[in-house]
A and B are shown apart, each in its own frame.
Chain A
Amino acid sequence: MDTRSTKFKYSFFSKGLCFILSAVLFFSFVYSGIIIIAGTQVIGFEEYLSGDYPSFTHSYGFESMFSADFYYTRILSDHAPSDIEAAFNENQNEIIENAVDTYLTEKAEIIKNELQYAVDNYDEAYFNYEYTADAVVIPQEQATSVMDIGQETTTTEILTDKNGNSIPRNIEAAQKILQTAQGKEFLDYEVLVRADAFTEGEFQYNTEVRISEYHTIGLNLYNNSGYDLDEQEIKKVFLEQYSSAKEDENGSVESNFVYAKSRLSKLDVFKYYVIDAKGTVYSNVEKDISKEAFVTAAESNSAYIIYDGKNIRLGDFAEDEKESYTTSLTNWPDREIYIYIDESRWGNTDDPYANLYSAYTELKTTDSLSLLGIAALTLIASFILMIVFLCLCGHKNGEEKPVTAYIDKLPTDIHFILSFGCIAGLTVLTIWLGAEIIASDFYTSLFLIFTPWILSAILTVSYMFFIEWLASTVRIKKAGKKFFKRMLIVRAFSAVCTGIQRFSGKLSEKFKYQPKKIKKTLFVLIGGYLSGNIVLCPLVALALGYFTPIPFILSLICFIAYNAVCLYFIIEYLKKLDTIIDASCRHIPADFGGQKVPESLRLLALNLTNTNEALEQAIAKAVRDEQMKTELITNVSHDLKTPLTSLISYSDLLEKCDIQDETAKKYIGVIHTQSIKLKRLIEDLIEASKVSSGNVTINATNLNFSELAMQAIAEFAPEMEKNGNEIIFLEPETAPLVFADGSKTYRILSNLLSNAKKYSAADTRVYVSVYSDNINSYFEIKNISCEQLNISPNELTERFVRGDKSRTREGNGLGLSIAKDLCVLQNGNLHLFIDGDLFKAIVQLPAVEKTPASPVNEDEDDSEN
């Protein structure tokens, strides 16, 4: 790749060149276009474009200008303004009289119609109506008008007509009037008719004032408030209107006359000589020139009109123009009009005809076809350059990818409005200027020199605006930026959206599961809810503000409906949530009955179902495992028991044998002791496994805890006394009751006592007490440990955990575990405390019958289900 050419391609210079050239070419297109338009205006559309140029007097520009001025000569020859006032004054009385007469006739007609209506709609039954005491109803005699009869009213005026005769106010009278009265006689009964009848409608009277045989002026007399005025009043109104119309008309005619006069007097090439009906002469030639001399001068030029009131002679005009002039002139008698175009005056640059002629001669020399070609070519070339420019724009030397320019930072919609606003403004300006020039001084010499330049320049500037906008759009597109995202309105909208998003984002941070998904949902929810209400709330307020009931009710309904729908969805959501909660309580999968369920709830239901299943499986497995374990231990124990029986028996037999060897004897003794120990261990193991799995039956009854304690103590006291341990039993005054299984409870106490027996320091006392607090009964045992207790009370109830970690002493570490499990099975508990060497155990058992709430029983219930 040739870097130099690339560098040049994307340089500011090349882009600028394209832009400027495109503008220049466009300028030349517009310029030639304007020349072409001017040509069609001056020479004539078809003639100019076909290249078949007519002579000046046959050209379109000349014809339109000449016919206008010809018309002005007619205005001059018509009447002087003074004649109009005279005509108005002359016709005044007749016109006003006619108008008033028409007015009154129509008014009388209205009265007649009203009376007729009252008679036609009269209904006897109407008067038989029973009126309430509150309503004052005018009897027929007192009604203010026929129309008031039977109506509710408070007026009780007694009426008289204008002659002082009282007017009967009843239907019979109305019928009589209708039969007898004619035409304007009805006006006498105006008082019988409701006032509203006269203001329904407007009075209009159109007529015309004849100024001369050929000239009339349209006149409109009117009363906006209808027929409420009487003869004198309406006459006054009409007179006012008449005189103001006279003044207006006088003024307009005068202004036309003055304008025609001034226009014509400015002309130099266009020579006229007009004599009106009164013999007044209007001319732009020297006053002393005779009519004959003017005619001679006229005839020496090619374009002239000679009209002496009868004969018409026309110069070199197009045939249809000639016809038109002839027709006009034959309708204008009693005057003389002489016009000619003085060709010797072409050089006068102040004269429009001279300018038009010079424009004509100039345009005649141009080749319209080549101009058209130039226009087309420049337009195409301009467009091509524009496209090249658009291709180049956005690329910048030193930048790999297309970039946007500084101006592209402007929001695209604002840019569009600004650019097209300028373009539209400039285009309108061009059209206005062009129209103005064509309408007024189109034919001034300045036209062909400046106007095309100015107009072209303006249009070119707007074209440049267009390219600039286009380039900006192309740059944005090339740079990969989004056009719509750059719009101010979109930016504003997205700013609002971002706000909501941020809000919902912050809100979603409080959600633990899938906050991203929740964020989206929240955005939709908040956005939707807000936008709905943002639209509806002002609508309601606006409707309320203007107090327009129907829109208010409609918008209120919409508002309520919208919020109701939102609420409905929330309730639906909650319903589904409830379904899930209900299902989770009953440990069954949630059933939505085929309804569509939001993702979050569906997931929740699924998870709950899965958890439930997993839990059920886990429970089943745990139960199975526990059962298997118990069975295993039991079976293993059984299998262990048989050989152990032999072991015990034979070791015992061995001990009894006559063995001399002391060492052997000692060994046999150890075997025997250990096998006894093993036996106990196996028994405890079985019990522990049964108790911990809840595989025992509790036959609870009310027991005397004190008695039980004593019985247990009695079992252990002798053995403990051998070790020097004395049991101090603090017997309560009243024996506490306990609701428990006797043998199981004995097992607990015996385990504790045996513990005390095994681990008490020699020659120490063991304190046992029993007490109750009505709800629970307690068995407390305290002893001093012979060894340091480096263990927590919780650990002690674990299976196979013993106070002496060396495990050298008697015991297997199951006692406390069994005791604890048995306590719990009987709705009680075992509390252990260690304070230095002091070991304290408290058995807590219910003093009275308790509704079982142990997990074992619950499981049984479940299995039954």
Chain B
Amino acid sequence: MYRVLVCDDDEAILESVRIYLKAEGYDVLTASDGVAALEVIENNDIHCMVLDIMMPRLDGLKTTIRIREKYNFPIILLSAKSEDTDKITGLGFGADDYVTKPFNPLELVARVKSQIRRYSTLGSMQKTENMLITGGLTLNKDSKEVTVDGEPVKLTAREYSILEYLMSNMGRVLSSTQIYEAVWNEIAFQTEKTVTVHIRNIREKIEINPKEPKYLKVVWGLGYKIDKI
């Protein structure tokens, strides 16, 4: 049984998160601030942590730094701030994911699930040469299998081809035209919108929140890319 530590100064949130995670079968520990959280971590074996940034005594970011000195279990930051800078700062300090308040509880649960799955399966996963991996997303060229955090994802042939093309060019921005020409293997002429529809479908299948994609990112006006995580 995986153990999740939830840390927030708001009792109500703490309770609701606890209920959701418990319903998913996790063992949930709670802490009302960073200091308390560190104490809990000392005394327990934690597999994942949900950490609020704005807290008294020791805030989320500082807590993250302190935790990362010793532990490497996934940390999901909670914040009322939606600015990109906060997100980047948090991830830079060693957090693994970021959820802004007010969050959809199911999304949070999904993210926790994803983090734990990755955390627990990462070591056991067999990596072959024909596998493309970024974060929890893996693509096996041989078996044409795609998994997210270990869970297989069903993709159509076209979707697979697009994803493979994107993952083969990791970090590069690819325009719809490029994608079309590479995947369809013919000259693109006002048919790029087909690509966009496919991309959208892929995102819905591999992303926890398609509106805030983690893997398949939209570069507005230029195209799409998948970054190496």
Q: What is the chain A residue whose CB lies nearest that of B14?
A: A646
Contacting A at CB under 8 A, from B187-204, are 190, 192-193, 196-197, 199-200
- Contact between A738 and B221, CB atoms less than 8 A apart: yes
Q: Which residues of B contact A683 (CB under 8 A)?
A: 82
Contacting B at CB under 8 A, from A594-644, are 637-638, 641-644
Contacting A at CB under 8 A, from B175-220, are 175-176, 190, 192-193, 196-197, 199-200, 218-220
A713 at the binding interface (Cβ < 8 Å): yes
Q: What is the chain A residue whose CB lies nearest that of B193?
A: A710
A708 at the binding interface (Cβ < 8 Å): yes
Contacting A at CB under 8 A, from B96-114, are 101-106
- Contact between B80 and A638, CB atoms less than 8 A apart: yes
Closest CB in chain B relative to A126 CB, distance in Å: 109
A45 at the binding interface (Cβ < 8 Å): no
- Contact between A646 and B221, CB atoms less than 8 A apart: no
Could you tell me the distance between the alpha carbons of A644 and B100 in the complex, rounded to whole angstroms?
12
Interface segment out of the listed A157-165, A205-213, A649-657: A649-657
What does the 1/0 interface line of A702-728 toward B look like (CB < 8 Å)? 011111101111110110000000000
A742 at the binding interface (Cβ < 8 Å): yes
Indicate which residue in B101, B103, B175, B197 contacts A714 across the interface (CB closer than 8 Å). Answer: B197
Q: Which residues of A contact B197 (CB under 8 A)?
A: 714, 717
- Contact between A707 and B175, CB atoms less than 8 A apart: yes
B12 at the binding interface (Cβ < 8 Å): yes
Could you tell me the distance between the alpha carbons of A642 and B223 in the complex, rounded to whole angstroms?
35
Could you tell me the distance between the alpha carbons of A704 and B173 in the complex, rounded to whole angstroms?
13
Contacting A at CB under 8 A, from B4-25, are 10, 12-13, 16-17, 19-20
- Contact between B102 and A704, CB atoms less than 8 A apart: no
Q: Which residues of A contact B193 (CB under 8 A)?
A: 710, 713-714, 729, 731
Q: Which residues of B contact A831 (CB under 8 A)?
A: none
Indicate which residue in B16, B81, B101 contacts A650 across the interface (CB closer than 8 Å). Answer: B16
- Contact between A714 and B196, CB atoms less than 8 A apart: yes
- Contact between B192 and A653, CB atoms less than 8 A apart: no
- Contact between A714 and B200, CB atoms less than 8 A apart: yes
- Contact between B200 and A718, CB atoms less than 8 A apart: yes
A686 at the binding interface (Cβ < 8 Å): yes
- Contact between A746 and B80, CB atoms less than 8 A apart: no
B222 at the binding interface (Cβ < 8 Å): yes
Indicate which residue in B82, B101, B196, B220 contacts A642 across the interface (CB closer than 8 Å). Answer: B101
Could you tell me the distance between the alpha carbons of A714 and B220 in the complex, rounded to whole angstroms?
12
Q: Which residues of B contact A745 (CB under 8 A)?
A: 220-221
Could you tell me the distance between the alpha carbons of A684 and B223 in the complex, rounded to whole angstroms?
26
Q: What is the chain B residue whose CB lies nearest that of A732?
A: B190
- Contact between A645 and B102, CB atoms less than 8 A apart: yes
- Contact between A715 and B221, CB atoms less than 8 A apart: no
Taking residues whose C-beta sits less than 8 angstroms from the other chain, chain A's interface range is: 35 or more
- Contact between B221 and A707, CB atoms less than 8 A apart: yes
Closest CB in chain B relative to A822 CB, distance in Å: 13
Known A646-B12, A704-B175: A713·B196 in contact at CB below 8 Å:
yes
- Contact between A652 and B82, CB atoms less than 8 A apart: no
A740 at the binding interface (Cβ < 8 Å): yes
Could you tell me the distance between the alpha carbons of A775 and B113 in the complex, rounded to whole angstroms?
50
- Contact between B80 and A653, CB atoms less than 8 A apart: no
Q: What is the chain A residue whose CB lies nearest that of B219?
A: A742
Q: Which residues of A contact B81 (CB under 8 A)?
A: 638
- Contact between A746 and B199, CB atoms less than 8 A apart: no
Most buried by A among B10, B12, B82, B101: B101
A743 at the binding interface (Cβ < 8 Å): yes
- Contact between A707 and B190, CB atoms less than 8 A apart: no
Q: Which residues of A contact B106 (CB under 8 A)?
A: 652
Closest CB in chain A relative to B193 CB, distance in Å: 5
Could you tell me the distance between the alpha carbons of A650 and B176 in the complex, rounded to whole angstroms?
42
A679 at the binding interface (Cβ < 8 Å): yes
Q: Which residues of B contact A729 (CB under 8 A)?
A: 193
Could you tell me the distance between the alpha carbons of A641 and B193 in the complex, rounded to whole angstroms?
37
Closest CB in chain B relative to A706 CB, distance in Å: 8
A796 at the binding interface (Cβ < 8 Å): no
Q: What is the chain B residue whose CB lies nearest that of A682?
A: B102
Taking residues whose C-beta sits less than 8 angstroms from the other chain, chain B's interface range is: 20 to 34
Known A645-B101, A714-B200: A703·B16 in contact at CB below 8 Å:
no
Closest CB in chain A relative to B52 CB, distance in Å: 9
Q: Which residues of B contact A746 (CB under 8 A)?
A: 218, 220-221
- Contact between B220 and A743, CB atoms less than 8 A apart: yes
A648 at the binding interface (Cβ < 8 Å): yes
Could you tell me the distance between the alpha carbons of A703 and B10 in the complex, rounded to whole angstroms?
43
- Contact between B221 and A649, CB atoms less than 8 A apart: no
Known A710-B196, A711-B196: A646·B220 in contact at CB below 8 Å:
no
- Contact between B192 and A648, CB atoms less than 8 A apart: no
Could you tell me the distance between the alpha carbons of A376 and B13 in the complex, rounded to whole angstroms?
130
Indicate which residue in A646, A650, A708, A717 contacts B10 across the interface (CB closer than 8 Å). Answer: A646
Indicate which residue in A645, A713, A742, A743 contacts B13 across the interface (CB closer than 8 Å). Answer: A645
Could you tell me the distance between the alpha carbons of A638 and B106 in the complex, rounded to whole angstroms?
21
- Contact between B82 and A703, CB atoms less than 8 A apart: no
Could you tell me the distance between the alpha carbons of A717 and B16 in the complex, rounded to whole angstroms?
34
Q: Which residues of B contact A686 (CB under 8 A)?
A: 82
Indicate which residue in A707, A712, A715, A740 contacts B176 across the interface (CB closer than 8 Å). Answer: A707
- Contact between A641 and B102, CB atoms less than 8 A apart: yes
Q: Which residues of B contact A646 (CB under 8 A)?
A: 10, 12-13, 16
- Contact between B222 and A641, CB atoms less than 8 A apart: no
What does the 1/0 interface line of A674-709 toward B look like (CB < 8 Å)? 010001000100100000000000000001111110
Contacting B at CB under 8 A, from A233-286, are none
Could you tell me the distance between the alpha carbons of A740 and B20 in the complex, rounded to whole angstroms?
42
Indicate which residue in B16, B104, B200 contacts A653 across the interface (CB closer than 8 Å). Answer: B16
Closest CB in chain A relative to B161 CB, distance in Å: 18
- Contact between B12 and A643, CB atoms less than 8 A apart: yes
Could you tell me the distance between the alpha carbons of A712 and B54 in the complex, rounded to whole angstroms?
34
Could you tell me the distance between the alpha carbons of A650 and B17 in the complex, rounded to whole angstroms?
10
Q: What is the chain B residue whose CB lies nearest that of A675?
A: B102
Q: Which residues of A contact B17 (CB under 8 A)?
A: 649
Q: What is the chain B residue whose CB lies nearest that of A738?
A: B221
Known A679-B102, A707-B175, A714-B193: A649·B13 in contact at CB below 8 Å:
yes
Contacting A at CB under 8 A, from B65-88, are 80-82
Q: What is the chain B residue whose CB lies nearest that of A642?
A: B10
Indicate which residue in A637, A645, A675, A711 contacts B221 across the interface (CB closer than 8 Å). Answer: A711
Could you tell me the distance between the alpha carbons of A703 and B176 in the complex, rounded to whole angstroms?
13
Q: Which residues of B contact A742 (CB under 8 A)?
A: 219-222
Could you tell me the distance between the alpha carbons of A100 and B22 in the complex, rounded to whole angstroms?
167
Closest CB in chain B relative to A719 CB, distance in Å: 11
Contacting B at CB under 8 A, from A727-774, are 729, 731, 738, 740, 742-743, 745-746
Q: Which residues of A contact B13 (CB under 8 A)?
A: 642, 645-646, 649
Q: Which residues of A contact B221 (CB under 8 A)?
A: 703-705, 707-708, 711, 738, 740, 742, 745-746
Could you tell me the distance between the alpha carbons of A659 and B181 in the complex, rounded to whole angstroms?
54
Q: Which residues of A contact B20 (CB under 8 A)?
A: 649, 653
Q: Which residues of A contact B196 (CB under 8 A)?
A: 710-711, 713-714
- Contact between B103 and A645, CB atoms less than 8 A apart: yes
Q: Which residues of B contact A705 (CB under 8 A)?
A: 221
- Contact between B176 and A641, CB atoms less than 8 A apart: no
Indicate which residue in A644, A653, A703 contacts B102 across the interface (CB closer than 8 Å). Answer: A644
Could you tell me the distance between the alpha carbons of A103 and B81 in the complex, rounded to whole angstroms?
136
Closest CB in chain B relative to A24 CB, distance in Å: 118
Q: Which residues of A contact B199 (CB under 8 A)?
A: 714
Extra contacts besides A642-B101, A648-B105 (9): CB < 8 Å = A641-B102, A646-B12, A646-B13, A650-B12, A652-B106, A704-B221, A712-B220, A713-B196, A714-B199
Q: Which residues of A does B touch, CB under 8 Å?
A: 637-638, 641-650, 652-653, 675, 679, 683, 686, 703-708, 710-715, 717-718, 729, 731, 738, 740, 742-743, 745-746
26 CB contacts below 8 A, A to B, read: A637-B80, A642-B13, A642-B102, A643-B12, A646-B13, A648-B105, A679-B102, A683-B82, A686-B82, A703-B220, A704-B221, A705-B221, A707-B221, A707-B222, A708-B220, A710-B176, A711-B218, A712-B220, A713-B193, A714-B196, A718-B200, A731-B190, A731-B193, A740-B221, A743-B220, A746-B218
